[in-house]
Structure 1
Amino acid sequence: MPDDTMTAITHAVTLGHEGRPDEARESLLTLWNSFGPQGDPLHRCTLAHYLADLYDDAAEALTWDIRALDAADSLTDARTRQFDSALDVRGFYPSLHLNLADNYRRLGSFAAARRAITAAKETLHTLPENPYGTMIRTAVEEVEAAIAARDTSRRASAPTGRR
């Protein structure tokens, strides 16, 4: 059964990838306002995860990344598989924790960044051995190195969609 909200989220994400972050952000915020923090956890997690990537400001991105993690904690495999039979909630966590670590690091909160990158590393085993898994593993290594160097600059390999 089609999921109109996931279709709308995907459309907004595509706008961001096409270099139209303001339109993407506006579209995602409108969707968020339609269901809010009590909405379907899959919708909340997906939307918040992608919306965070549309903010240059690490504090704003962190707000959405926390919302994504919170939604994932309420999400079940049964719900994700209604949308895509191949999805496993455990596979969401490496990226979610990675994003938190990267935002904490950019904000100079290195203790919090270390805790989040440790959480990401502890969940890497849930990722498949494919290009996506390789991308997340590489990003975890990059963020871990940046934390160790106490570097707060934006990573060149950070997700696209930001201005």
Structure 2
Amino acid sequence: MDTPDAVMARIAQGQERAVAGDREGARHIFEEVWDALQGSGDTAPDPLHVVTLAHYMADVQTDPAEELRWDLRALDAADSLTDDRAKEHHSSLSVAGFYPSLHLNVAAAHHALGQSAEARHHLDRAAQSCEHLAEDGYGRMIRGGIARLHAELDATVGPPGQSGGRAQHR
């Protein structure tokens, strides 16, 4: 992190809990941060905080509809985020690099809900924005997630909503 940011540090604490398997503890931290962001009233929350928090909050949801709601919130916040603000947090960040993962997550949530057309739309958007990813571990992970979800969508048969739950896209 290039610039200290207490909100991002708290979000990181929640994400550490999520990675350690404590989804409920992570969700609790994320809810606290979300409530604090909404409490500012007079000014809109920092889009970097919203996109980061919503992106991680989606991952700790048990209900695919809630996951989609948070994923869409993250995607919407990214549209308000500037490269300058992202770079204040870390010099390597650019907003364009957020979109492959954000669209992939939205696509996976739609897929889990049996909404194939919407899933394909966002998966196409994820694939189209991959040019902004580096050829590193993160870029390979996202590209691999896109390929896996594409294969899942192609293999999905049966009634909507019977896709087997949450897609393993990350």
- TM above 0.5: yes
Question: Deviation digits for residues 102-132 of structure 1, max 9, x if unmatched?
Answer: 0101101101011000100100111000111
Is the 8 Å Cα contact of residues 109 and 166 (structure 2) preserved in structure 1?
Answer: no
Q: What residue number does 1:113 align with?
A: 119
| Candidates 74, 88, 96, aligned match of 2:94 | 88
CA-based RMSD: 1.5
Offset of residue 148 of structure 1: 1.7
Q: Alignment partner of 1:74: what SS?
A: coil
- Quote the residue 2:160 is aligned against: none
Tell me whether 1:18 sits opposite 2:24 in the alignment.
no
Alpha-carbon distance in structure 2 between the residues aligned to 1:117 and 1:94: 9
Selected match of 2:37 from 25, 31, 35: 35
CA gap 1:95/1:153 in 2 versus in 1, 3 angstroms = same
Within 1, Cα distance between the matches of 2:19 and 2:94? 24
In structure 1, the gaps of 5 or more residues are: none
Which runs of no fewer than 5 residues in structure 2 stay unpaired?
A: 158-162
Higher Cα Rg, which structure: 2
TM normalised by structure 2 equals 0.89
Q: Distance in 1 between matches of 2:7 and 2:119?
A: 32
Higher helix share: 1
Tell me the distance in 2 between the aligned counterparts of 1:91 and 1:82.
15
The alignment of Structure 1 onto Structure 2 pairs a total of residues equal to: 159
